[in-house]
Amino acid sequence: MPELLKVAVCVCQDVTYADFMLPMDLLGNLNWADDPFVSKIYGEIPYRVKIEYLAPTMEPVISLNPELPAMIPTRTYTDAINKKEKYDIIWVPAGMSSSFPVSLLKYR
């Protein structure tokens, strides 16, 4: 029986999607290991993952790039804390650096 790893991805407004979408997509591919075709290629994979996206509220999270679609968190930080949730991996993606020159974001 594969071991289930619980992953918490901590998101907030103005998060940079590129900092977590691809890594979570790759981790999520571990869950395909039960597929007969995939298991023939990679053999036995001893892990599966459950990914949760935590945010301060359940409001849609807008990325640093407002042209991208919003994402809905799985649960709030408060909910995870109140239910004494434990995670094997905690992923904290970046947002805009406080030293980032905002003037670079203005298109002329």
For the range 99-108, what are the long-range contacts, defined as Cβ-Cβ under 8 Å and sequence gap of 24 or more?
Answer: none
pLDDT digits (tens, 9 = 90+) for 34-84: 888 888 888 888 999 999 999 999 999 998 888 999 999 999 999 999 999
pLDDT at 41 (0 to 100): 86
pLDDT of 108 higher than 50: no
Strand ranges of the sheet holding 89-91, from the earlier edge strand across to the other edge: 75-76, 47-55, 3-10, 89-91
- Average pLDDT (1-18) is 91
Residue 107 pLDDT class (50, 70, 90 cuts): very low
Question: Which domains are present in the chain?
Answer: 3-105 (3.40.50.880)
Nearest to 17 by CA among 95, 79, 105, 77: 95
pLDDT at 100 (0 to 100): 52
pLDDT at 71 (0 to 100): 94
The reported pTM is 0.81
